Structure 1
Amino acid sequence: MNWTTEAWAAINPLYQDIIDMPFNQELMKGTLPVEKFKFYMAQDAHYLVEFGRTLSAISSRMEDPEKMLAFSQFASGAIVVERALHEGYFKKFGVSGEISPTPTCLLYTQYILNKAALANVEEAVAAVLPCFWIYKRVGDYIYSNQENAKDNPYKEWIATYAGEEFASSVESAIQITDELADEASPSLKDKMTSAFVMASKLEWMFWDSAYRLEQWEV
């Protein structure tokens, strides 16, 4: 059994919670309040910039040129998506271009940036994998189960994460992580799993914070 199979088994109950949470259920039905989607889009735009920085930092630490190139392309892709949000959804839904990260968004971005800078590169890769893999699984689930798909106001977002281009990136990220894990010691594999689980929890928190329209209390 490869590392990613075991890692997914560790977070499968959490993934089911993510599928069942109100944000994703209402997104799937097209009933999610627009204000909550706008809030989510704004935070996601901020997250993607920092995610791009994280992927770029990981790329610079890779010894294998092919892995270096892959993470460089992942980083570019994150920024392309962020720009697309501004040019598409931000205009469509009237989202302001000035974004202040929520406590959860800041926690998540600082977590992955910290791993990219200070942890073993294997652990850093494991920490960013949930953003690829969980998003793909959620996108596929929603795409396959949405009601009145053509009338869903969020159909374009759904199609992005259920699309073939994103699927290719996810498969590449999974393969690279498994290759790194194959060469890792048992203790390093444990650190990879811990990072993967923690980032998966932060994924749940990110959606939950958007649904709650999370604000700083002070």
Structure 2
Amino acid sequence: MSSMASLSRITFRHMYRLQKEFNTHLSIFQGITVWFTGLSGAGKSTICQLVKDKLSAVRFSVEILDGDEVRKHLCAELGFSQEDRFKNIERAAFIAKLLSRNHIIVLASFITPYKAMRDYLKHELDPFVEVYVKCSLKECIHRDVKGLYRRALDGEVVQFTGISDPYEEPEHPDLMIDTEFETSEKSALKVLAYLRQQGFIHFDEEMK
């Protein structure tokens, strides 16, 4: 047998072993959707990015579904009536389902103002974790990172959650983080701790 043939056989056995280990890892790791709900400006997107960075650092497959990006690219024709908001959430849920069933952790950042929306998500997505990113309306208006509250208060933006549309506060979220009184870093670590305690993620390294 030539040295080239021997090398090819060794390489094939090595690749087969790696693929087998990879498939075994996938079989024990189930994707999950972690859904962040809260007022505009509460800090949902910031915390999602922090959680993603920390999970990616220990080699988890993670994707962020951001409400603004989904509206821009997939739901541009939708308005902000209750019916259109539901359609927006339904489309986002469909994407989350596709990703999570392929062993991906989905971090979804949507205002999701109505209880009925969140009940729909709990029915459609499994496993599903609801994270309430709590922050008072007063503080969100003070932050006004996108300038939307000012426009809504001036009547330039209609059907704006917290001003002219309601936000139905979650009564029993899986996890609540209060971004008015804790840093984004601390909030992100709380999310990771919850996922670990519930057995959704496993890792040896300490999250920092």
TM-score, normalised relative to structure 1: 0.27
Bigger proportion of residues as strand? 2
Q: Pick the structure with greater CA Rg.
A: 2
Q: Higher helix fraction: Structure 1 or Structure 2?
A: 1
Q: Which has the higher contact order (CA 8 A, sep 6+)?
A: 1
